[in-house]
Amino acid sequence: MRTSKHGQERVRKRIGIKKRAVDKMRDFAFGKGVSHQQATGRLNKFFTWLYFRHETATNIRMYSNYVWIFAGDVLVTVFPVPKEHFKSVLKIQKRINILTPGASAPLNNT
């Protein structure tokens, strides 16, 4: 796996991690992120929209509150998950038992 120069700049700026940690986060996102196949409903529609918007994107993942766009095995860019899809991503991650750093599940006050 590789990271484009633009992708590395976006990860460092938007997530706020050091240069050496970019590769580790990229690998976690690709391996453990929510994929298009796992999405349902409006989240699936959002994935489809992203795929057609970023024509070079072959792999799109949602991990640690961010959308990770890959072209083959190259990380192209990263941006935050829109608020209206945040709960859906957490629900899928909980269903497939993915614990993401920085993401918290909604509190259950029962």
Q: What is the domain partition of the chain in residue ranges?
A: 2-95
Kindly state the average pLDDT of the residues 41-48.
Answer: 90
CA-CA distance, 84 to 22, in Å (whole number)? 26
The whole-model pTM stands at 0.80
Count CB atoms within 10 A of the CB of residue 70: 25
Question: What is the DSSP-derived secondary structure letter of residue 19?
Answer: G
Confidence (pLDDT) at 108: 41
Q: Is the pLDDT of residue 102 over 50?
A: yes
Q: Is the pLDDT of residue 32 over 80?
A: yes
List the structure tokens of 55: 């024509």
Which ranges of 1-110 would DSSP assign to H, the alpha helix? 5-15, 22-32, 41-53, 83-95
Confidence (pLDDT) at 56: 83
The residues near 68 (Cβ < 8 Å, ≥ 6 apart) are 26, 29, 30, 33, 60, 61, 62, 75, 78
Confidence (pLDDT) at 64: 85
How much is the mean pLDDT over the chain? 85
Kindly state the average pLDDT of the residues 13-38.
Answer: 91
pLDDT band at 98 (very low <50, low <70, confident <90, very high): low
